[in-house]
Amino acid sequence: MAVMTMREALNQAMREEMTRDESVFLLGEEVGAYQGAYKITQGLLAQFGEWRVRDTPIAEEAIAGVAVGAAFIGLRPIAEMMTFNFSILALDQIVNHAAKYRYMSGGQIKCPMVMRGPSGAAAQVAAQHSQALESWYAHIPGLVVVMPSTPKDAKGLLKSAIRDDNPVIFMENEVLYNLKGEVPEEEFHIPLGLADVKRAGKDVTIVAWSRSVVTSLAAADLLAKDGIEAEVVDPRTLRPLDEDLIFDSVRKTNRCVVVEEGWRYAGFGAEIADRVQLNCFDDLDAPVVRVTAADVPMPYAKTLETAYLPQPDRVVDAVHKVLYR
């Protein structure tokens, strides 16, 4: 195993897939000469040349439209969004074209593209640059939505995403780019639609993805001091969702807390809570409790940013609630 950051792991995944398959190419703002706004695409222009690493104008709908068109004719584009906040400009291409054509053409047209970039809050970048929009994309049939929480998951999942024949929304997290972890040195993939137990426990199931996994693991450490063993389940892919692993865990622990960085209102955690109540009703000893962002635009002030986001102590409180403690 090699220890590397998530930034390096993502870079490796693209490099390996671009080496393996000439139809894979990269486009986006500053991905080439500047080597990526967050340096994820470092060295790729030098290695693969400007036909396969394309700098684009600041025009997200155009980036998405070019990627969709290229995918329709058989290429495998990786479209980088500088952040997913800007992908809102590209929603029509994603929702009405990328997600729909395979269905509307009776399977004749596929859209094997990846749209990737950071999502969620960073540090004081305020309301327009801190949004966790996974619930928007997970809502759309025809899309695959992936959100890794470790370097290993990031690499294994991005390689699978590039090879997948469906449009994949691959949402990274700026705060996690420097997170270090072990990554296998040999060729490996992590299948899309497979959840993972990030920490085993018997008293409560905490479902979390992306940065919230880190928050939840910190909460699990705090809970362990009180003798509460939390199991942290990371779906990794929000669509399709590996609900069986979540159900297995809840049937064991009888309690479920869902932690997400997005807003509560119609947030993805509600989807999980709904499936758990439907499938594990007789196994539940308490209602499913959600820990989410505050239902406001992200404030700029640091103290308010901290209050807005799920923190370990709020996860601990939620666990106490479902344990009736």
Instruction: Provide the binding-site residues for another protein, judged by CB under 8 A.
Output: 254, 281-286, 324
- Considering the candidates 8, 17, 29, 60, report the single residue annotated as catalytic: 60
Query: Measured from the CB atom, is 286 or 294 closer to another protein?
Result: 286
**Residue 88 in tokens:** 């809102």
320 is annotated as an active-site residue: no
60 is annotated as an active-site residue: yes
Residue carrying the six token digits 């490099």: 15
Cβ neighbours of 39 (radius 10 Å): 14
Query: Measured from the CB atom, is 216 or 254 closer to another protein?
Result: 254
- Considering the candidates 129, 139, 189, 320, report the single residue annotated as catalytic: 129
Enumerate the active-site residues: 60, 129
